[in-house]
Chains A and B, each alone.
Chain A
Amino acid sequence: MNYSYYPGCTLKTKAKELDRYARSSAEKLGLHLEELEDWQCCGAVYPQAEDEIATKLSAVRALAQAKEKGGKLVTLCSACHHVIKRVNLDMQNNEYIRTRVNNYIAPDAPYAGETQVLHYLELLRDELGFEQLKKSVVNPLKGRKIAAYYGCMLLRPAEEMGMDDPENPKILEDFLRALGAEPVLYPYRNECCGGYIALEDKGQARQNVDKILHSASLAGAEAVITACPLCLYNLAQNAGKERLPVLYFTELLAEALGVKEEA
């Protein structure tokens, strides 16, 4: 099966590993990711205001291109996924936004949210299946106690993101089980790391990060995984007393599939 793929800016720069391990793993699993041409930065935050049109255009351009190429768009960074998924819903359901965006970019055929947006984790769960993933594991991560960190963007608002139960998610834990690791449950896995506040008030980010890492470490975690470069930055760089290694989930995936070295 072929999928269009939207990596996003950060995966071309600071978060190259998130991307690299995802690509080599997908290849090993027989999932063909084809990077979109000329994609633009998604803007990193979903523009909530009804009258914000310009800030939604880059997401629509990516979505419209994916529609022509088979209709399934895979995202990986939590923020890109959040923005593109929600703008797509606006194009489906919000006539005011749909009309203005189409007037602006004037595509050959108006875009109305036809593309299906899949996060890489959803690709593994819903298209490949975690059972199938489990069968492809060559280096099971036996005895590794890993804390899945969801943060905000993948889950909320659940009505729109539709990935998992926002208060008791399990997609990352199921993913870890498929790799043979032992997921560690802890109360702060869906609490905010502070996100962009690190640029406004580092202390505020630090406060959040401390609570999250303390919670994960009390539960016995030896490492934390995330899908978001900004979460990884905050958890790794703005940690106080409590520190844990923070990894992209794709790194563990590549390790379990035996493609980490070649990635």
Chain B
Amino acid sequence: MLHENERDLRETILRISAVDVRKCMKCGKCSGSCPAYEQMEYHPHQFVAMVDNGDIQALLDSDASFKCLTCYACTERCPRDVRPARLVEAVRLLKIRKQGQNHLKPDAIPAKLEAELPQQAIVAALRKYSK
């Protein structure tokens, strides 16, 4: 039996990602395609399996979702149209939507500025790492 809290978290992730984890046939093609494989503590196919099993707290405690590049390679190559990137995004959102849990704070931006850094990078990073 899942803890009530984890059951709720699992429901939220399934609802906002609109992913049907049961479609996964565990072929691993998503993780085989992932350019952030080395950096992600949990790989895309593990996000699918862990959400399916309700193993949500481990995903939330990990920084794996911050290492994802949102490149959609996993989504494109999945033969079952599972779209693992949406699960990674849902986990990331659950982390940063919590009051005070922004991963990148606007105060940290000035130190990261470089002459050639495009505005697009800052906007994208803030959208991905802070709410």
Binary per-residue interface labels of chain B (10-40) against chain A in the complex, 1 for a CB within 8 Å, 0 otherwise = 0000011110000000000000000110010
Question: Among residues 149 to 204 in chain A, which have CB atoms less than 8 Å away from a CB atom of chain B?
Answer: 152, 155-158, 166-167, 191-192, 194-201, 204
Say whether A192 contacts B117, CB under 8 Å: no
In the docked arrangement, what's the CA distance between A156 and B90, Å?
A: 19
Question: Among residues 59 to 109 in chain A, which have CB atoms less than 8 Å away from a CB atom of chain B?
Answer: 77, 79
Binary per-residue interface labels of chain A (117-159) against chain B in the complex, 1 for a CB within 8 Å, 0 otherwise = 0000000000000000000000000000000000010011110
Task: Verify if B120 is at the interface (C-beta below 8 Å from A).
Answer: yes
Task: Verify if A215 is at the interface (C-beta below 8 Å from B).
Answer: no
State whether A9 and B76 are in contact (beta carbons under 8 Å apart), knowing that A48-B85, A199-B104 are contacts in the complex.
no
State whether A45 and B69 are in contact (beta carbons under 8 Å apart), knowing that A15-B118, A157-B75 are contacts in the complex.
no
Contact of A191 among B35, B83, B119, B123 (CB under 8 A): B35
Assign chain B's interface to a size class. 35 or more
In the docked arrangement, what's the CA distance between A44 and B124, Å?
A: 5
State whether A48 and B86 are in contact (beta carbons under 8 Å apart), knowing that A157-B75, A192-B73, A195-B70 are contacts in the complex.
yes
Return chain A residues, CB-CB under 8 Å to B90. Answer: 48-49
Question: Among residues 202 to 252 in chain A, which have CB atoms less than 8 Å away from a CB atom of chain B?
Answer: 204, 208, 228-230, 232-233, 236-237
- The binding surface of chain B is classed by DSSP as helix
Residue on B nearest A42 in the bound complex, by CB: B123
* B41 CB to nearest A CB, Å: 13
Assign chain A's interface to a size class. 35 or more
Say whether B123 contacts A43, CB under 8 Å: yes
* B79 CB to nearest A CB, Å: 13
State whether A50 and B121 are in contact (beta carbons under 8 Å apart), knowing that A199-B104, A208-B35 are contacts in the complex.
no
Say whether A237 contacts B35, CB under 8 Å: no
Say whether B104 contacts A43, CB under 8 Å: no
Say whether A152 contacts B72, CB under 8 Å: yes
- The binding surface of chain A is classed by DSSP as loop
Task: Verify if B61 is at the interface (C-beta below 8 Å from A).
Answer: no
Say whether A233 contacts B116, CB under 8 Å: yes
* A17 CB to nearest B CB, Å: 12
Contact of B120 among A9, A51, A156 (CB under 8 A): A9
Contact of A49 among B39, B66, B75, B89 (CB under 8 A): B89
Say whether B121 contacts A196, CB under 8 Å: yes
Say whether B69 contacts A229, CB under 8 Å: no
* B108 CB to nearest A CB, Å: 9
Question: Among residues 18 to 54 in chain A, which have CB atoms less than 8 Å away from a CB atom of chain B?
Answer: 41, 43-45, 47-52
In the docked arrangement, what's the CA distance between A114 and B123, Å?
A: 27
In the docked arrangement, what's the CA distance between A120 and B127, Å?
A: 25
Question: Among residues 107 to 131 in chain B, which have CB atoms less than 8 Å away from a CB atom of chain A?
Answer: 112, 114, 116-125, 127-129
Residue on B nearest A191 in the bound complex, by CB: B35
Return chain B residues, CB-CB under 8 Å to A155. Answer: 76
Return chain A residues, CB-CB under 8 Å to B39. Answer: 201, 204
Say whether A9 contacts B85, CB under 8 Å: no
Say whether B118 contacts A229, CB under 8 Å: yes
Return chain B residues, CB-CB under 8 Å to A52. Answer: 16
Binary per-residue interface labels of chain B (42-83) against chain A in the complex, 1 for a CB within 8 Å, 0 otherwise = 000000000000000000000000110111110110000001
Pick 12 A–B contacts, CB within 8 A, sort by A.
Answer: A14-B119, A15-B118, A44-B127, A48-B89, A48-B90, A52-B16, A152-B69, A152-B72, A155-B76, A157-B72, A158-B76, A200-B66
